[in-house]
Structure 1
Amino acid sequence: MSFKYLHTFPISGPNKLPRFKQWALENLPGVAVSLPPQVPVKSTALTVRLKSAEDRVALIGKLEGASF
């Protein structure tokens, strides 16, 4: 199965990928995500690929109120 669903959300600062990976492990167990190999420090957004629409809805729900 491929990662067909996308969600882009605001995130700034360095180490975006490790911060998001840690957050995802703590808040979204069992949800597989695909991340880009790297994200520039100056970037203000991160796009995450997900396998299903349900995973995307779960991610969006958990991101409400989350601070990176």
Structure 2
Amino acid sequence: MTFKYTYTFPINGSDKVQRFKQWAQAHVPGMAFSLPPQTPIKTVTMTVMLQSMEDRKMLMEKLAGVRI
């Protein structure tokens, strides 16, 4: 799979990758994405790699105003 598109969104705290995976499973099931293997606790953003511009747009809409 090729992940050409990215979306960076704000996220605080620990276990960012796991929390995003759980959120994605509940809110955008079936969407293919690639995540970093880990993120430092001090970072306040995370970047998700996506396959299409449509996936990026959908993720932006679903994450608007959501705290993960």
TM-score (norm 2): 0.96
Count residues in correspondence.
68
Match for residue 32 of structure 1?
32
Taking the TM superposition and a 5 Å limit, the aligned residue runs for 1:25-64 are: 25-64=25-64
* Distance (Å, rounded) in 1 between the aligned partners of 2:36 and 2:46: 9
Match for residue 13 of structure 1?
13
* Distance (Å, rounded) in 1 between the aligned partners of 2:7 and 2:54: 12
| AA in 2 matched with 1:11 | I
1:16-61 deviations in Å (ceiling 9; x for gaps) = 0000000000000111010001100001000000000000001000
* Distance (Å, rounded) in 1 between the aligned partners of 2:6 and 2:59: 10
- Over 6 Å off, 4+ runs: none
Q: Which ranges of structure 2 fall in alignment gaps of 5 or more residues? A: none
Q: Which ranges of structure 1 fall in alignment gaps of 5 or more residues? A: none
* Distance (Å, rounded) in 1 between the aligned partners of 2:20 and 2:50: 14
| AA in 1 matched with 2:2 | S
